Chains A and B, each alone.
Chain A
Amino acid sequence: MKLELGFIEIKDIQFSNESKVENGTLFVNADDVKAFVYEDDDVKACVKSVCFDIAKPGESVRITPVKDVIEPRVKVEGPGGEFPGVIAKVDTVGSGKTHVLRGMAVVTAGPIVGFQEGIIDMTGPGAEYTPFSKLLNLVMVCTQVEGVHQHEYEHAVRIAGLRAATFIGELGRNVTPDETKEFETLGIREGLEKYPNLPRVGYVHMLQSQGLLHDTYVYGVDAKRTLTTIIYPTETMDGAIISGNCVSACDKNTTYHHQNNPVVADLFEQHGKTLNYVCNIITNENVYLADKQRSSDWSAKLCRLLDLDGVIVSQEGFGNPDTDLIMNTKKIEQVGVKTTIITDEYAGQDGKSQSLADADPLADAVVTGGNANMVIELPKLDKVIGTLDYVDKIAGGHAGSLRPDGSIEAELQVITGATNEMGFNCLSAR
């Protein structure tokens, strides 16, 4: 399967009467986006209001509570469309051509659904920890129709964000990309014949699936109702996997992370040179022990069946999923496939506690995205998109996190994407 990504560099975003991409500037008519978003019945029923704002790198802007971050893309050639099974109809994606509006994102924000939404600072110390401070963000602040059930509202906000990203992505359909890149995954036999001497490497991509605000969807299917399975890496570039919003903001994979999975990118970079990148295995992180048992059994089984020599395992979330991580790693090692895992740590504010809720000596190659309990201070910023009402309550905050002067003291957990476990960032710990 071969996919060509055409990157259109977005250098500025402006509100305008007409929505278009011209010379690297995205012009947005907010009313048009809103109308498109509201064409969905669930959004209509559950989302009271939607308003748009723009946040640029370096501006004194704080966005919170952040639910999801999405990169606008559009399928220009080949089967299917972006976010198959959710926005586009179900069709296997990951081949043909896709245009990417690079350098920007749609960010959904607004009063919280649970405790899990995060903070994106566009400047200052907080900005160093979130990759989204480097993007031009079209922020969509949503509010809830009163009395709507949490699960339904989460669904509606998720769809609203994806629809906005779809609308924006569509503006790039007829724009000539600034750069194109090809990604190809070969069939099993083809790969063996082409790279007989390279180690066969796979990617075990763990998907958070613990319930409200801890879910992930694959072709529209709730990951908690899936069995461990195989997926082409390029399918993820077309939005086959989307976020059901955030757990602790720091280590929930946003939809943007899935679209730009760094493990996929870095394995492709080595593909055909030092390794043969075979495929991705997706496996869930359910709350029941029987599910953990079944899913990790299947991860190991598929690794063996594919005759892999090694895999990278990426976790999502922490605590309970540490069990899934260790079960996967242990079982995969036990079938003779070598592992390197990516996780993050909850070592306490003083860094003195054990970092994971589970451990095994077979997990001997670990990459860490840092200690999420680390306390950070965020100065008051000039503008808030969304609301500061929930800073004390979100995961990583505490009573008094928001100080009277507008500054914030909280754990790194509150920052969206800060300790991402796909290895998106440079942050680490020793």
Chain B
Amino acid sequence: MSYRVVHYINQFFAQIGGEEMAHIAPELREGAVGPGTAFDAAWNGEAKIVNTIICGDSHFAEHEKESKAQILAWVKEINPDLFIAGPAFNAGRYGYACANIALAVKEELGIPVLTGMYEENPGADLKDKVLIVATTNNAAGMRKAAPTMAKLAMKLMKGEKLGASCEDGYMNNGIRVNFFEKERGSRRAVKMLLNKLADKPFTTEYPMPSFDRVAPNPAVKDLSHAVVALCTSGGIVPKGNPDHIESSSASHYGEYCIAGVENLTPDKYETAHGGYDPVYANEDPDRVLPVDVMREFEREGKIGKLHDYFYTTVGNGTAVANAKKFAAEYAQKLKQAGVNAVIMTST
């Protein structure tokens, strides 16, 4: 038995007409229409388009809610193994429709989806949410796009692991995937530099992300009554690392009580961090988590109180998403405990 696919196309690719027919409402047909035949051919019987949904681009744009509802109802009933849309090349409204209807099918019906379009098509804004194959900017690229989309579609239907975006032909979706290049890195670097020097096009293997910058909160007005907590990414833990925080790429953080602790001594504390010279931190863990100094401040009345718990993890190779998750969680605990300020030490 072959996999069952529903294909979405616009009025133009259904050969109903151009702009003058862009108003047509969604229509459901049996089997493949237009570009769908190219997918069927590529799948060679392993998968087959059971239905084609045709919708005018203007209609989708102007009646998005109704169009989506109708299409979702059909797809739900047909319950295919995959929903494929386009490719839309550089047709803006068509690309928008393909990406958005695919996203709706994925999110509401949980059916794997795939579409294709030119990288500058406005529909490509959804590339982090919907798998989109990069195509040329006009329909002449169908010959190349069809086999790429068909192959990727087959992987999705079989539930196979995707290769890197450049291997499988989809637009970079923010998920980094390892793969083996044909040439070693140094040779690729030399080539890239030569292109850059000659003002020829080159493609970076890692586009720089825009960074999250966090604006600091206003200063604490009266430290002498403030409860201050110590937190660290320097890996200070009770000796023996009871929660097994990883030496690199930490999967969790630790919460430890320091009520009554005057000073972190090497017989009771150590660092679990694998990314810096641990000798000096292990000799005197206060060097990373300065409990001794905070106790002094407490006695001198410079701060109200040192919070009874400290929060700690290892910053070494730890994914930013994980770090964010840890902090979001223990920030709530700090807030609930009435902590007014936090000193976060790094290494």
| Closest chain B residue, CB of each to CB of A248 | B248
Interface positions of A from 335 to 363, Cβ below 8 Å from B: 338-343, 345-361, 363
Per-position contact with B for A239-269: 1 when CB-CB < 8 Å, else 0? 0000000011000000000000011011101
| Closest chain A residue, CB of each to CB of B243 | A399
Residues of A within 8 A of B278 (CB): 114-115, 212
Within 8 Å of chain A (Cβ to Cβ): is B205?
yes
Within 8 Å of chain A (Cβ to Cβ): is B141?
no
Alpha-carbon separation in the docked complex, A211 to B347 (Å): 12
Per-position contact with B for A253-293: 1 when CB-CB < 8 Å, else 0? 00000000011011101100011000000000001000000
Residues of A within 8 A of B279 (CB): 149-151, 211-212
**Contact indicator B322/A348 (Cβ below 8 Å):** yes
Q: Quick one: given A115-B247, A394-B274, are A342 and B172 in contact (CB under 8 Å)? A: no
Alpha-carbon separation in the docked complex, A373 to B172 (Å): 19
**Contact indicator A359/B211 (Cβ below 8 Å):** yes
Within 8 Å of chain A (Cβ to Cβ): is B217?
no
- Size of the B side of the interface (Cβ < 8 Å), in residues, is 58
Within 8 Å of chain B (Cβ to Cβ): is A199?
yes
One of A89-97, A99-107, A418-426 at the interface:
A418-426
| Closest chain B residue, CB of each to CB of A423 | B185
**Contact indicator A424/B185 (Cβ below 8 Å):** yes
Within 8 Å of chain A (Cβ to Cβ): is B194?
yes
Alpha-carbon separation in the docked complex, A287 to B276 (Å): 9
- A316 CB to closest chain B CB (Å) equals 13
**Contact indicator A359/B248 (Cβ below 8 Å):** no
| Closest chain B residue, CB of each to CB of A359 | B208
Contact of B176 among A342, A355, A363, A365 (CB under 8 A): A355
**Contact indicator B180/A367 (Cβ below 8 Å):** no
**A interface SS class:** loop
**Contact indicator A397/B246 (Cβ below 8 Å):** yes
Residues of A within 8 A of B193 (CB): 201, 310-312, 338-340, 365
- Size of the A side of the interface (Cβ < 8 Å), in residues, is 91
- A273 CB to closest chain B CB (Å) equals 10
**Contact indicator B317/A373 (Cβ below 8 Å):** yes
Alpha-carbon separation in the docked complex, A422 to B190 (Å): 11
Alpha-carbon separation in the docked complex, A267 to B181 (Å): 19
Alpha-carbon separation in the docked complex, A60 to B55 (Å): 59
- B317 CB to closest chain A CB (Å) equals 5
Residues of B within 8 A of A114 (CB): 274, 278
Interface positions of A from 406 to 430, Cβ below 8 Å from B: 411-413, 420-430
Within 8 Å of chain A (Cβ to Cβ): is B183?
yes
Interface positions of B from 163 to 200, Cβ below 8 Å from A: 164-167, 172, 174-190, 192-194, 196-197
Q: Quick one: given A319-B316, A347-B176, are A248 and B275 in contact (CB under 8 Å)? A: yes
**Contact indicator A365/B275 (Cβ below 8 Å):** no
Within 8 Å of chain B (Cβ to Cβ): is A6?
no
**Contact indicator A340/B317 (Cβ below 8 Å):** no
**Contact indicator B178/A427 (Cβ below 8 Å):** yes
Within 8 Å of chain B (Cβ to Cβ): is A371?
yes
Residues of B within 8 A of A347 (CB): 176, 319
Alpha-carbon separation in the docked complex, A318 to B249 (Å): 12
Alpha-carbon separation in the docked complex, A201 to B193 (Å): 9
**Contact indicator B186/A395 (Cβ below 8 Å):** no
Residues of B within 8 A of A317 (CB): 275
- B312 CB to closest chain A CB (Å) equals 16
Residues of B within 8 A of A320 (CB): 275-276, 347
**Contact indicator B322/A353 (Cβ below 8 Å):** yes
- A428 CB to closest chain B CB (Å) equals 5
| Closest chain A residue, CB of each to CB of B346 | A320
> Would you list 18 pairs from A and B whose C-beta atoms are within 8 A, ordered by A residue?
A116-B274, A201-B197, A311-B193, A317-B275, A343-B206, A350-B319, A352-B175, A353-B322, A364-B208, A367-B186, A368-B205, A371-B177, A397-B247, A422-B185, A426-B183, A427-B180, A428-B188, A429-B179
Q: Given A340-B196, A349-B319, list of 6 further CB < 8 A pairs?
A: A267-B190, A340-B190, A348-B321, A370-B178, A372-B317, A426-B182
